[in-house]
Amino acid sequence: MLKRTSVGVCLIAAAGLVVGTTGRRVRAQTSERRAGAPTARRGIPTVVGPRGPASVYPVMSAARALNFIEAAERGLDYVPGEVIVKFRSGVTVTGQQRALMALRSRPIVTDLKWISGDTALHRDELEYDAHILSAQLLEQPEVAYAEPNYIRHFQSTPNDPGYAQHQWNFGAIDMPRAWDINPGGTSSLIVAIVDSGITTVSQTFSAYTWNGQAIQLISVPFAISPEFSASRFIAPADFATGSGAQSIVLDLDGHGTHVASTIGENTNNNLAEAGIAYNVKLMPVKVCFGYWDLQFAFSAAGNTGSVPPNAGGCTTAALASGIRYAADNGAKVINLSLGGVSPSSIEQDALNYAVSKGAFVAISAGNCYQPNPACPPGVVNPPAYPASLAANIDGAMAVAAVGPSLTHAFYSSAGPYVEISAPGGNDLEGGISGMIWQATIFPPDSNPSTVIFPRFDRYAEVPYEGTSMAAPHVSGAAALIISQGVTNPAVVEALIKQTARPLGTASGRSDLFGFGLIQPRAALFGFGIK
């Protein structure tokens, strides 16, 4: 069954809560009918299947799911009972064990979940306050740092649905001429989308859920987006459910697919929108989970009822593991469209590691410029993490957002750490036509406020906005630049900065826009002698 559909959505991203209405899409791209540029495209059809036989949906442990639910209910920005500890280099196992004895639960070293050589995650059954656990460990001389396992959230903001279908964002950054120089990047380049995942199989899974009266085993169909093909995925991994490196990743939220679509959905295929680097390989690294990930895990453990709609997110432990995994498996660009307000050393280590392995990292700058339900109450424009870390890492960039008029998007966090701007959408400029439209899972199919039995096998063009949407523009541009032969992440960053179009100030940087609006064509074209 194929039909032309598009939707406008209001996305509360961290929770995966989607409230939307449908509309008819009428859109034709202009000025892109040229060599190397995308052709005009029609509305994306929703897609069903193909699907294989039902398998059991890979869920996280029940205890962990309960921890996330508790975090949502109590408004915590960390996973209760989980602490990340990094031991000083050279500390023996005996020393590590001695340090752990400071905790009331007396954990065993071998029971830790190791993230990297000297960094591990500990789940404590006796103490749920991760700050207390961190403080106890920090007093030990063997410990370099200890911190809660923070929960990061997607950085796209809620908004109302609508009918507009303009991919104004690519025109704003001169993409058609950039594609003239480098049409879509090279297929040997790997871009990792460290996010809620991108569905890599077309298959039906069995999962338990709450039907309002009882726990029920249901069939949940998944399908690969028609804007991707299985051959474009490489080394998918799931650190959100704890599965790690595996061949299957499932996006139950849509955020990761939307971000990936901006970076590199199939282009020149007469379908939906264009992606920036549409030839590159995509590495889906799932480190975030949303409502349905938690609901399935919650119900599978025999718990009755529904999980809070705002439950979910991305732990810093999973995030660090995902970043390291991406760097270790050949990703040369890593996109992080997520963040929080608490600094994390494990993120800093992971970012440094990724850049040292030759990966460029684009990070959303945050959506808390104005009070926002997804931001800490009472705090206006706090520094976002891990974006704030990027300012001190040559090869990682914090990305702010602009709207269609190329002015500051109302939500886009500002500060000295902002390095570059890109289109992130702004519904205050023309409603949803001012947002970023890309293909992702069909939101009404999994809207927890209206759906009991979700499905994830249909796709549509969906408008999002946020610095989450701005970062993939920079990732896609970086992929083109690297495809052009620039391999050093620090050089990629310098090139993007130097060729940016200044905004707000005649030249130089500003806290709102960083060095200005990214100009992929100018970066690819580079410089002559004069």
Partner 1 sequence: MRLFFKLALMVALALPSSSVCAQERAAVDDLRERGSVSVASDSVQIDTGESLRAVTASKRLESGQPPRVPPAPDALGVRAFGTVDINALTAQSSFNAVLGTSRLTAFGGGIDVLNIWRGLFLRAAVSTTSKTGSRAFVANGQAVSLNIPLTVSMTPVEVGGGWRFLTGTRATPYVGGGGLAQFYSEKSNFAAPGENVSQTNIGYFALGGIEVETVRWLVVGVEAQFRGVPHAIGQSGVSQSFGETNLGGFTTRVLIGVKH
Which residues of the chain form contacts with partner 1 (CB under 8 A)?
Answer: 177, 180-181, 484-486, 488, 490-491, 494-495, 498, 524-530
What DSSP string describes 371-410? --TTS-TT--SPPPBTHHHHTTSTTEEEEEEE-TTSSB-T
CB of 487 to partner 1, least distance (A): 9
- The H-or-E segment that residue 315 falls in is strand 313-315
CB of 447 to partner 1, least distance (A): 45
CB of 172 to partner 1, least distance (A): 17
CB of 498 to partner 1, least distance (A): 7
Task: Report CA-CA distances (Å) from 174 to 1, 79, 374, 466.
Answer: 36, 42, 32, 20
Of residues 36 and 376, the one with the C-beta less far from partner 1: 36
Taking alpha carbons only, the member of 280, 115, 265, 284 closest to residue 196 is 284
CB of 295 to partner 1, least distance (A): 48
Of residues 381 and 488, the one with the C-beta less far from partner 1: 488
CB of 482 to partner 1, least distance (A): 11
Of residues 446 and 499, the one with the C-beta less far from partner 1: 499
Of residues 77 and 180, the one with the C-beta less far from partner 1: 180
CB of 292 to partner 1, least distance (A): 44
Instruction: Specify the 3-state DSSP secondary structure of 190.
Output: strand
Of residues 269 and 484, the one with the C-beta less far from partner 1: 484
Peptide bond between residue 386 and the one before it cis (omega within 30 degrees of 0): yes
CB of 48 to partner 1, least distance (A): 42
What DSSP string describes 94-159? HHHHHHHTTSTT---GGGSEEEETTEEEEE-SS---HHHHHHHHHTSTTEEEEEEEEEEEE-----
Structure tokens at 194: 């460290």
Instruction: Specify the 3-state DSSP secondary structure of 325.
Output: helix
The contacts of residue 528 (CB under 8 Å, 6+ apart) are none
Of residues 79 and 173, the one with the C-beta less far from partner 1: 173
In terms of C-beta density within 10 A (0-12 exposed, 13-18 middle, 19 or more buried), how is residue 243 classed?
A: middle
Strands 420-423 and 396-402: parallel
Structure tokens at 88: 């000083």
Of residues 371 and 526, the one with the C-beta less far from partner 1: 526
For the four alpha carbons of 64, 65, 66 and 68, in that order, the dihedral sign comes to positive
Of residues 287 and 478, the one with the C-beta less far from partner 1: 478
Task: Check if the beta carbon of residue 385 is closer than 8 Å to that of residue 340.
Answer: yes
Strands 237-238 and 244-245: antiparallel
> Beta-carbon neighbour count of residue 431 at 10 Å?
17
CB of 529 to partner 1, least distance (A): 5
| Spatial distance between the Cα atoms of 318 and 335, rounded to a whole number of angstroms | 15
Q: At what angle do helices 467-483 and 489-498 cross, to 10 degrees?
A: 110
Of residues 212 and 527, the one with the C-beta less far from partner 1: 527
Structure tokens at 504: 């707000």
Of residues 174 and 457, the one with the C-beta less far from partner 1: 174
Taking alpha carbons only, the member of 9, 446, 449 closest to residue 251 is 446
Of residues 179 and 325, the one with the C-beta less far from partner 1: 179
CB of 394 to partner 1, least distance (A): 9
Of residues 399 and 524, the one with the C-beta less far from partner 1: 524
CB of 284 to partner 1, least distance (A): 29
| Spatial distance between the Cα atoms of 163 and 166, rounded to a whole number of angstroms | 10
| Spatial distance between the Cα atoms of 394 and 280, rounded to a whole number of angstroms | 23
Task: Check if the beta carbon of residue 407 is closer than 8 Å to that of residue 424.
Answer: no
CB of 386 to partner 1, least distance (A): 23
